[in-house]
Amino acid sequence: MKHFYFFIISVLSVCLLQAQNYKFGKVSKEEVLEKVHPKYKEANAAILFREHRVYYDLNQNTGLSLVTEVHERIKIYNKEGLKWANKTISGYQNGTERDDIGNIKGYTYNIEDGKLVDEKLRNNGIFNEETNKYILKTKFTMPAVTEGSVIEYKYTITSPFTTSIDDVPLQFEIPVKRLEAEIKIPEFFGFRMHYNPKSPIIFPINKSTETFTYRYTQKSRTGQRVVSTDYDQRSIDYLLNNYDFKRNDIPPLKKEMYVDYLQNYAAYLRWELKYTQFPDSPVENYSRTWEGVAKSIYNDSGLKQEVNRTNFFDKDIDKLLSDTKDRTGKLAKIFNYVKNKITWNDFIGFRAESGIKSAYIKGAGNTGDINLMLVSMLRYAGFEANPVLVSTKSHGIPIYPTRNGFNYVIAAVETQDDFVLMDATDKNVAIGELPNRAMNWRGRIIREDGTSDWVNLMPTVKSENITMLNMQFDDDMVLQGKLVRKLNGLHAKKFRDDYAGLAKKDYIPVLEKNKGNIEISDVTISNEKAIGKIIKQSYNFELKNAMEIINEKIYFKPMVFAGLTENPFKGKERNYPIFFDFPSSDSNTINFLIPEGYEVESLPESAIVDLKNGAGVFKFVVALNGKFLRIESSLDLNNIVYSSLDYEGLKNFYSEMVNKHSEAIVLTKS
Amino acid sequence: MRKILILQFLFFHLATTNLLSQDYSILSIAPDLLVNSNAIVRNEAIEVSILAVDKMRIKTKRVVSVLNQNGDQHIQAYDFYDENRKIKDQRVIVYNSRGEVIDKIKQRNFDHRSLHGSGTLFSDNRLSYLNYTIKEYPITIAYESVVETNSTIFIQPWKPIENYNLSVERASYRFVNPNAIPFRFEQNNFQELDFDKNNSDSELFYEVQNISAIEHEVLSPDLSSFLPQVYVALNEFALVGVQGKASNWKELGKWQYDYLLKGKTALPQETVVMINNLTANAPSEREKAEIVYNYVQENTRYISVQLGIGGWEPMHAKDVDELGYGDCKALTNYTKALLESLGIPSYYTVVYGGKKNNIDPEFASMQGNHVILNLPFEGEEVWLECTSQSTPFNYLGDFTDDRKVLKITPEGGEIISTPNYSTEVNLKKSFSEILLNEDGGFSANVTCENSGIPYGDIYGIRNLKEDHQKIYYREKWGHLKELEIAEIVFENDRDSVVFTENLKIKGVKLASKAGNRLLLPLDFLPAKFFSLPRNQARKLPLVIQRGKTYKDVFQYKIPEKFKIESIPDPFSIENEFGKLFFKASITGIDGTQLKVERLLVLKEGNWGSSKYNAYRKFMNQIRSFTNQKAVLVSN
Residue B18 CB-density burial (10 A; 0-12 exposed, 13-18 middle, 19+ buried): exposed
Q: Which of A166, A26, A168, A34 is nearest to A107 (CA)?
A: A26
- pLDDT, tens digit, for every residue of B402-432? 999 999 999 999 999 999 999 999 999 999 9
Contact residues, chain A, for B474 at CB < 8 Å: 570-571
CA-CA distances (angstroms) from residue A466 to A430, A561, A578, B421? 19, 15, 24, 50
CATH topology of domain B427-634: Jelly Rolls (2.60.120)
Band of the pLDDT at B308, cuts 50, 70, 90?
A: low
**Cα radius of gyration (chain B):** 30
**B463 — contact with chain A (CB < 8 Å)?**
yes
- pLDDT, tens digit, for every residue of B22-70? 789 999 999 999 999 999 999 999 999 999 999 999 999 999 999 998 8
Cβ of B324 and A146 within 8 Å?
A: yes
Chain B, nearest residue to A550 by Cα: B566
d(CA A516, CA B619): 11
**B273 — contact with chain A (CB < 8 Å)?**
no
> B 91-110 residues with CB below 8 A of A?
none
* Pairing of the two strands A45-59 and A63-76: antiparallel
Question: In what helix (H) or strand (E) does residue A482 lie, and over which residues does it extend?
Answer: strand A479-487
Residue type, A590: I
Cis peptide before B138 (omega within 30 of 0): yes
Whether B3 shows a pLDDT value over 50: the answer reads no
d(CA B144, CA B124): 24
Domain boundaries, chain A: 21-202+240-284, 290-456, 463-669
**What pLDDT is stored for residue B193 in this prediction?**
59
Confirm if A228 and A221 have CB atoms less than 8 A apart: yes
Name the residue with higher pLDDT: B11 or A388.
A388
Residue type, A343: T
Give me the count of residues in chain B: 635
Reported ipTM exceeds the 0.85 cut:
no
**Same fold: A21-202+240-284 with A290-456:** no
d(CA B47, CA B16): 10
Backbone φ and ψ for B188, nearest 5 degrees, come out as -110, 145
**What pLDDT is stored for residue A8 in this prediction?**
40
DSSP code of residue A305: H
**B42 — contact with chain A (CB < 8 Å)?**
no
* Biggest distance spanned by C-alpha atoms of chain B: 94
d(CA A229, CA B333): 67
**What pLDDT is stored for residue B13 in this prediction?**
31
CATH 3.30.460.10 fits B246-417, yes or no: no
Confirm if A489 and A462 have CB atoms less than 8 A apart: yes
Name the residue with higher pLDDT: B573 or A576.
B573
Cβ of B135 and A146 within 8 Å?
A: no
CATH 1.10.10.10 fits B2-240, yes or no: no
H helical segments located in A182-326: 290-300, 303-306, 314-320
pLDDT profile of chain A (670 residues), mean per 10: 42 48 92 93 94 88 88 94 91 88 94 92 87 84 92 95 91 94 93 85 87 71 61 78 93 67 78 85 81 87 86 92 92 95 89 90 91 96 95 84 89 90 95 92 90 92 96 92 96 92 83 89 92 94 88 89 88 80 94 93 93 91 95 93 88 92 89
Chain A, nearest residue to B475 by Cα: A570
Q: Which of A611, A630, A470, A628 is nearest to A620 (CA)?
A: A630
Phi-psi category of B452—alpha, beta or left, where left has phi over 0 and alpha has psi -120 to 50? Answer: left
Strand partners of residue A591: A470, A630
**What pLDDT is stored for residue A539 in this prediction?**
96
Q: Which of B628, B594, B446 is nearest to B523 (CA)?
A: B628
**B617 — contact with chain A (CB < 8 Å)?**
no
Backbone φ and ψ for A396, nearest 5 degrees, come out as 85, -160
* Pairing of the two strands A463-473 and A584-593: parallel
- CATH tag for A463-669 (out of 3.40.50.150, 2.60.120.1130, 3.40.50.620, 1.10.3720.10): 2.60.120.1130
Mean pLDDT of chain B: 90
d(CA B142, CA B126): 22
Domain boundaries, chain B: 2-240, 246-417, 427-634
Kindly report the nearest CA distance between residue A498 and chain B, in angstroms.
13
Q: What string of H, E and C letters represents the secondary structure of A413-455? A: EECCCCEEEECCCCCCCCCCCCCHHHCCCEEEEECCCCCEEEE
Contact residues, chain A, for B565 at CB < 8 Å: 550-551
Whether B117 shows a pLDDT value over 70: the answer reads no
Backbone φ and ψ for A355, nearest 5 degrees, come out as 90, 140
**A659 — contact with chain B (CB < 8 Å)?**
yes
Confirm if B7 and B208 have CB atoms less than 8 A apart: yes
d(CA B81, CA B58): 12
**What pLDDT is stored for residue A218 in this prediction?**
64
Kindly report the nearest CA distance between residue A136 and chain B, in angstroms.
10
Confirm if B2 and B187 have CB atoms less than 8 A apart: no
**What pLDDT is stored for residue B69 in this prediction?**
86
Backbone φ and ψ for B89, nearest 5 degrees, come out as -155, 145
Which residue of B129, B135, B492, B564 is the best one to mutate when testing the A interface, meaning the one whose CB has the most A CBs within 10 A?
A: B135
Whether B9 shows a pLDDT value over 50: the answer reads no
- pLDDT, tens digit, for every residue of B188-197? 988 765 555 5
Residues 6+ positions from A16 with CB-CB distance below 8 Å: none
Whether B311 shows a pLDDT value over 80: the answer reads no
**What pLDDT is stored for residue B113 in this prediction?**
81
Kindly report the nearest CA distance between residue B245 and chain A, in angstroms.
32
**What pLDDT is stored for residue A13 in this prediction?**
42
Cβ of A548 and B531 within 8 Å?
A: no
Contact residues, chain A, for B483 at CB < 8 Å: 570
d(CA B198, CA A494): 56
Helix axes A367-380, A327-341, angle to 10 degrees: 150
What CATH number belongs to A290-456? Answer: 3.10.620.30
Between chain A and chain B, the number of residue pairs with CB atoms below 8 A apart is: 146
**What pLDDT is stored for residue B121 in this prediction?**
64
**Same fold: B2-240 with B246-417:** no
d(CA A165, CA A68): 9
- pLDDT, tens digit, for every residue of B501-530? 999 999 998 998 877 888 899 999 999 988
H helical segments located in A500-622: 504-512
d(CA A65, CA A163): 10
* Pairing of the two strands A176-186 and A45-59: parallel
* Biggest distance spanned by C-alpha atoms of chain A: 127
**B533 — contact with chain A (CB < 8 Å)?**
yes
- pLDDT, tens digit, for every residue of A521-550? 999 999 988 998 999 999 999 998 888 888
Q: Mean pLDDT throughout B571-590?
A: 94
Question: In what helix (H) or strand (E) does residue B332 lie, and over which residues does it extend?
Answer: helix B328-341
**A509 — contact with chain B (CB < 8 Å)?**
yes
Residues 6+ positions from B78 with CB-CB distance below 8 Å: B110, B127, B128, B129, B130
DSSP code of residue A662: H
H helical segments located in A352-503: 356-362, 367-380, 489-499
What CATH number belongs to A21-202+240-284? Answer: 2.60.40.3140
d(CA B388, CA B371): 12
Query: What is the DSSP code string of A540-567?
Result: EEEETT-EEEETTEEEE-TTGGGS--S-
**What pLDDT is stored for residue B591 in this prediction?**
84
What's the order of all strands across the beta sheet hosting A628-637? A518-526, A535-543, A479-487, A463-473, A584-593, A628-637, A616-625, A607-611
Confirm if A356 and A336 have CB atoms less than 8 A apart: no
Residues 6+ positions from A423 with CB-CB distance below 8 Å: A367, A371, A410, A411, A429, A433, A434, A435, A438
Confirm if B42 and B17 have CB atoms less than 8 A apart: no
d(CA A69, CA A102): 10
Q: Which of A576, A532, A579, A331 is nearest to A436 (CA)?
A: A579
Q: Helix, strand or coil for residue B481? A: strand
Residues 6+ positions from B152 with CB-CB distance below 8 Å: B50, B53, B54, B55, B56, B234, B237, B238
**What pLDDT is stored for residue B624 in this prediction?**
86
What's the order of all strands across the beta sheet hosting A598-602? A547-550, A553-556, A665-669, A598-602
Residues 6+ positions from A123 with CB-CB distance below 8 Å: none
Confirm if B370 and B400 have CB atoms less than 8 A apart: yes
